[in-house]
């Protein structure tokens, strides 16, 4: 089997890349692959693998090398499993300047870095549709902040990060008229009115809190992907861009006219100096900034009213363009920070640029012209060299820290390993099928862990049991320990995986929170023990202060609710034990359940539309008497004289008390 | 190693592990991942001690009662214990607390509330209670001083001085 594979591969290398694509599902794995990914029951994986959820709007967490799914973290989409975006505490997380938006398209992830290495504090995620970025706390694996981006249309080149987490970026995929103007959809109007922006989002080094420090306003073009410089190139950000033709229709043809588009190089340190010196322009706008407070378990929204913009036509020498063939996609910086690898989706080569050459070209003014006033560096002046005939449709490149690069090829469905210095192709393996991003653990840092490369594939025809017209997406794990890559494992993924990150488990495992300390629960509606449970009516609003513990809810009998009341169940989980959440669901509640972590308080809003008796219960199996963890709410017609009362067991809460605020 | 050889080897490895009764010599998995935490304290013979299993082997009682601890213990009771334990003899989810300081030693009580899982697995008295209640007592993550305060509150509840 191995022989067959090797023969085929060498044949492929000689004949050309197209014959490399395997057409059958066999002949994929050989040797001791199984033992290399086997993580015995009770043992832990070596890496956390955070994978973007694409159109699911969420982030999934897998263990590597096993490929076991460990968790789904809801970020930009509601999640009925745990009530994210449904319960009152998290609804503000999905609030935007255009109202409540419960879905998005999540593409890229960035782990926070210190000195160019992953530090395990936060994970950042982008929303591609309604431009937003999110921060996930890696102690609790919860989304704790969502920041909307103004003047943006499709936040695609995001949230790539600098080597000390100074900034993450949000680069617009669709150029749009800024300041929310409308404009005609003609080419003349496009050229006149449409702009691209890059938001530089500063990260507070202690709290992680995000803030748009400034926006760079660029000519209308589509910013695609991005990387921060590192080491010598720290202080720079690089963006790939397509549609520099500025077409507004049928881009498949109209944005493929030019032989080369650009890589946009932004000197962010210089931009920061301009911003600090008050040289930017403040623009009135409106965007939401949502944060979850983990002490009171409650999210709040603030509306930001202003953004500082920098125009490279007025403030010179901080933005340059580098020609890059053709319709570039990936734009990746190697671990030394010296090489920037472009990937033209339609190019039959991979251009590699050298940071030293770029700075020299700028010093020498080796420009071939300008694009809307922005200098365009001569291609040859910036170029380290080209990888010739590597494959079809190069997209993304990651690195092993030993001087090798791994590039994904969408059209020819393969990963190609090549040497950065001499640009020679060293190895190639097929993927199944249509690989997009790929990821080496730590491959975007100064010190990659190497060991594995993971392919994130768009298509899985005939790889798994068929499930109707729609098949799962997949990831494939390859060993890169030796000279030759070796396929070890397929594992299905949720949504459509785009970029991913992986970090050594040891950097996160020990800090993982196990419970929320109930003694510091500062929720407005917390019940500190059953003694403090109660039901309070104020007009047609009814607040139920409820507790949950193995194996009962308190109160579990509630009467005096009327049709049309807005009933808020504030359920506090009194447990202080790891992995003992309690669920809470009410018959006919029109949103979702609650899933309340130990020591946490969550709120479910329920507006009964008909009189009757409504059972409620715990949804998450907790003990032998879990099934008994249930209760009733009596709903009477509007204006009924049934008094408000509640109890659990014999401790009937003293007759009818209709506390009125 | 081809697949067939791998299976043979894996089967052989399993056989060896079984033969050894899962001793620490097993090396079938290369990953260094943590074993279950090893209890390094001398495990008291379960039946030999009325002090239970845990780090409390000598709890010094205060006479008269420390009212500060009683108050703190009541605060913890209200938040973490009262859902399942009444202060009289009546069983709710767990047993009523009346008389608990007569039935159990101070050490046993402290060990049970701070080391719930191990006690439920190994201590005969704790196991006997589990058979009655059928709900494992939640580990409420009490700190040592919280547990001590709860004990003081129990003593007060039992009329001790």
CA dist B49 and B56 (Å) reads 12
A261, pLDDT greater than 70: yes
A566, pLDDT greater than 60: yes
pLDDT, residue A32, reads 86
- Partners of A332 in beta bridges: A341
Considering only residues 15 to 44 of chain A, which have any Cβ-Cβ distance to chain B shorter than 8 Å? 30-32, 34-35, 38-40, 43-44
Q: Tell me the pLDDT band of A348, cut-offs 50, 70 and 90.
A: confident
A454, pLDDT greater than 50: yes
Tens of pLDDT along A142-165? 999 999 999 999 999 999 999 999
Name the residue of chain A whose CA is nearest to B77's CA: A529
Decide: A217 and A281 in contact? Cβ < 8 Å.
no
pLDDT, residue B9, reads 44
The answer to whether the Cβ–Cβ distance between A554 and B31 falls below 8 Å is no
Name the residue of chain B whose CA is nearest to A548's CA: B83
Percent of chain A whose predicted confidence (pLDDT) is above 70: 94
- Which residue is associated with the tokens 């010190």? A447
pLDDT, residue A4, reads 46
Q: Which segment, A5-9, A16-20, A652-656, B125-129, is predicted with the most confidence on average?
A: B125-129
Average pLDDT over residues A184-191: 95
* Closest of A499, A515, A476 to residue A124, by C-alpha: A499
| Best mutation target, A5, A513, A516, A549, to test chain B (most B CBs within 10 A) | A549
Q: Tell me the pLDDT band of A650, cut-offs 50, 70 and 90.
A: low
A-chain CB neighbours of B33 within 8 Å are 39, 43-44
A-chain CB neighbours of B96 within 8 Å are none
Percent of chain A whose predicted confidence (pLDDT) is above 90: 88
Decide: A633 and A586 in contact? Cβ < 8 Å.
yes
B-chain CB neighbours of A623 within 8 Å are 135-136
Half-sphere exposure of residue A204: CA atoms within 13 angstroms, side-chain side = 8
Q: Helix-strand-coil percent breakdown of chain A, rounded to 5?
A: 10, 45, 45
pLDDT, residue A25, reads 54
pLDDT, residue A74, reads 98
Question: ω before A59 within 30° of 0 (cis)?
Answer: no
CA dist A1 and A28 (Å) reads 9
C-alpha B54, offset from chain centre: 7
The nearest CA of chain A is from the CA of B39 a distance in Å of 18
CA dist A311 and A197 (Å) reads 10
CA dist A88 and A103 (Å) reads 17
Tens of pLDDT along A507-529? 999 999 999 999 999 999 999 99
* A506 lies within 8 A of chain B by CB: no
Average pLDDT over residues A655-660: 40
The answer to whether the Cβ–Cβ distance between B31 and A44 falls below 8 Å is yes
A2, pLDDT greater than 60: no
Which of B28, B92, B135 has its CB closest to that of A624? Answer: B135
The answer to whether the Cβ–Cβ distance between A530 and B83 falls below 8 Å is yes
The answer to whether the Cβ–Cβ distance between A649 and B31 falls below 8 Å is no
Q: What is the mean pLDDT of chain A?
A: 93
Considering only residues 138 to 157 of chain A, which have any Cβ-Cβ distance to chain B shorter than 8 Å? none
The two most distant CA atoms of chain B are separated, in Å, by 75
* A529 lies within 8 A of chain B by CB: yes
CA dist A156 and A134 (Å) reads 13
What DSSP designation does A85 have? Answer: T
A22, pLDDT greater than 80: no
CA dist A341 and B61 (Å) reads 72
The nearest CA of chain A is from the CA of B42 a distance in Å of 25
Query: Which phi and psi (to 5°) does residue A593 adopt?
Result: -90, 180
A420, pLDDT greater than 90: yes
Least confident of A8-22, A134-148, A255-269: A8-22
The answer to whether the Cβ–Cβ distance between A549 and B139 falls below 8 Å is no
Half-sphere exposure of residue A46: CA atoms within 13 angstroms, side-chain side = 16
A-chain CB neighbours of B3 within 8 Å are 34
- Better-predicted residue by pLDDT, B131 or A4: B131
A418, pLDDT greater than 80: yes
- Look up residue A453 and give its two tokens: 């490369």
CA dist A441 and A437 (Å) reads 13
The 10 Å Cβ neighbour count of residue A2 is: 12
pLDDT, residue B49, reads 79
Name the residue of chain B whose CA is nearest to A517's CA: B141
* Closest of A313, A501, A499 to residue A396, by C-alpha: A499
A3, pLDDT greater than 60: no
Tens of pLDDT along A465-485? 999 999 999 999 999 999 999
User: Exposed (0-12), middle (13-18) or buried (19+): which is A180, by Cβ within 10 Å?
Assistant: exposed
3-state secondary structure (DSSP) of residue A581: coil
B58, pLDDT greater than 80: yes
CA dist A192 and A588 (Å) reads 53
Name the residue of chain B whose CA is nearest to A578's CA: B139
- Look up residue A350 and give its two tokens: 């991979």
Q: Tell me the pLDDT band of A180, cut-offs 50, 70 and 90.
A: confident
- Which residue is associated with the tokens 């946490």? A600
- Angle, helices B106-114 vs B144-157, to 10°: value is 130
pTM recorded for the entire structure: 0.90
B-chain CB neighbours of A649 within 8 Å are 92
A26, pLDDT greater than 80: no
B86, pLDDT greater than 70: yes
- Look up residue A420 and give its two tokens: 């950065």
Q: Which residues contact A124 (CB under 8 A, 6 or more apart)?
A: A109, A110, A111, A112, A133, A134, A135, A136, A159, A161, A168
Query: Which phi and psi (to 5°) does residue A388 adopt?
Result: -90, 140
- Look up residue A494 and give its two tokens: 């949720």
- The interface pTM score, or ipTM, of the predicted complex is 0.82
- Better-predicted residue by pLDDT, A28 or A568: A568
A105, pLDDT greater than 50: yes
Q: Tell me the pLDDT band of A183, cut-offs 50, 70 and 90.
A: very high
The answer to whether the Cβ–Cβ distance between A574 and B135 falls below 8 Å is no
B-chain CB neighbours of A531 within 8 Å are 78, 82
């Amino acid at each position: 089997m191995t022989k067959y594979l090797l023969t085929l591969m060498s044949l492929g290398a000689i004949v050309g890349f197209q014959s490399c694509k395997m057409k059958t599902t066999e002949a994929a794995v050989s040797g001791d692959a199984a033992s290399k990914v086997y993580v015995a029951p009770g043992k832990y994986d070596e890496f956390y693998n955070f994978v973007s959820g694409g159109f699911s709007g969420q982030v999934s967490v897998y263990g590597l090398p096993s490929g076991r799914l460990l968790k789904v973290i809801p970020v930009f989409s509601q999640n009925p499993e745990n009530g994210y975006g449904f319960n009152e505490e998290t609804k503000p997380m999905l609030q935007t300047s255009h109202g409540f938006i419960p879905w998005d398209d999540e593409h890229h992830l960035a782990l926070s870095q210190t000195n160019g290495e992953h530090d395990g504090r936060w994970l950042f995620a982008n929303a591609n549709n309604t431009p937003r970025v999110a921060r996930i706390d890696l102690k609790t694996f919860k989304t704790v902040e969502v920041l909307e981006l103004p003047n943006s249309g499709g936040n695609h080149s995001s949230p790539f990060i600098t080597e000390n987490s100074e900034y993450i970026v949000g680069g617009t995929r669709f150029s749009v008229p800024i300041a929310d103007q409308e404009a005609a959809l003609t080419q003349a109007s496009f050229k006149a009115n449409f702009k691209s922006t890059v938001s530089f989002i500063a990260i507070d080094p202690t709290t992680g809190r995000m803030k748009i420090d400034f926006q760079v306003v660029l000519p209308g073009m589509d910013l695609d992907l991005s990387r921060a410089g590192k080491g010598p190139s720290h202080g720079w950000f690089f963006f790939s861009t397509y549609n520099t033709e500025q077409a507004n229709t049928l881009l498949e043809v109209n944005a493929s006219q030019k032989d080369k588009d650009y890589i946009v190089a932004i000197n962010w340190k210089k931009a920061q100096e301009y911003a600090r010196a008050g040289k930017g322009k403040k623009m009135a706008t409106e965007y939401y900034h949502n944060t979850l407070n983990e002490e009171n378990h409650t999210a709040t929204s603030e509306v930001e009213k202003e953004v500082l913009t920098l125009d490279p036509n007025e403030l010179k020498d901080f933005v340059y363009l580098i020609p890059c063939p053709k319709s570039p996609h990936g734009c990746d910086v190697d671990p030394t920070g010296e090489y920037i690898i472009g990937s033209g989706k339609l190019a039959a080569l991979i251009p590699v640029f050298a940071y030293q050459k770029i700075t020299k070209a700028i010093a020498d003014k080796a420009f071939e012209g300008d694009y809307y006033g922005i200098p365009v560096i001569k291609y040859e002046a910036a170029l380290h060299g080209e990888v010739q005939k590597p494959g079809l449709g190069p997209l993304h490149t990651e690195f092993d820290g030993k001087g090798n690069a791994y590039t994904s090829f969408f059209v020819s469905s393969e990963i190609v390993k090549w040497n950065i210095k001499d640009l020679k192709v060293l190895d190639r393996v097929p993927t199944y099928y249509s690989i997009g991003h790929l990821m080496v653990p730590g491959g975007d840092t100064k010190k990659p862990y190497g060991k594995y490369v993971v392919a994130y594939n768009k298509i899985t025809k005939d790889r798994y049991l068929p499930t109707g017209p729609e098949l799962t997406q997949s990831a494939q794990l390859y060993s890169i320990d030796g000279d030759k890559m070796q396929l070890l494992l397929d594992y299905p993924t949720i949504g459509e995986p785009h970029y991913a990150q992986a970090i050594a488990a040891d950097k996160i495992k020990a800090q993982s929170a196990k419970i929320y300390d109930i003694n510091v629960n500062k929720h407005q509606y917390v019940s500190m023990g059953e003694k403090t449970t109660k039901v309070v009516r104020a007009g047609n609003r009814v607040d139920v202060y409820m507790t949950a513990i193995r194996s009962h809810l308190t109160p579990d009998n509630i009467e005096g609710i009327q049709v049309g009341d807005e009933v808020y169940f504030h359920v506090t989980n009194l447990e202080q034990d790891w992995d003992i959440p309690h669920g809470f669901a009410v018959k006919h509640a029109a949103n979702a359940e609650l899933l309340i972590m130990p020591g946490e308080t969550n709120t479910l809003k329920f507006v009964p539309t008909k009189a009757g008796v409504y059972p409620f219960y715990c949804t998450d199996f907790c003990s032998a008497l879990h099934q008994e963890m249930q209760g009733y709410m009596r709903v009477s017609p509007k204006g009924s004289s049934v008094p408000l009362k509640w109890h659990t067991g014999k401790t009937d809460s003293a007759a009818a008390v209709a506390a009125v605020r | 190693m081809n697949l067939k050889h791998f299976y043979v080897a894996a089967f052989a490895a399993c056989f060896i592990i079984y033969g050894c009764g899962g001793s620490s010599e097993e090396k079938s998995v290369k990953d260094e991942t943590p074993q279950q935490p090893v209890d390094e304290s001398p495990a008291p013979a379960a039946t030999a001690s009325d002090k239970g299993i845990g780090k409390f082997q000598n709890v010094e009682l205060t006479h008269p009662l420390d009212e500060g601890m009683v108050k703190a213990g009541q605060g913890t009771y209200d938040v973490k214990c009262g859902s399942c334990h009444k202060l009289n003899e009546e069983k709710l989810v767990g047993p009523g607390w009346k008389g608990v300081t007569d039935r159990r030693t101070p050490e046993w009580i402290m060990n049970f509330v701070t080391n719930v899982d191990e006690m439920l697995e190994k201590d005969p008295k704790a196991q006997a209670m589990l058979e009655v209640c059928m709900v494992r007592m939640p580990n409420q993550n009490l700190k040592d001083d919280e547990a001590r305060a709860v004990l003081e509150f129990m003593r007060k509840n039992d009329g001790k001085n």
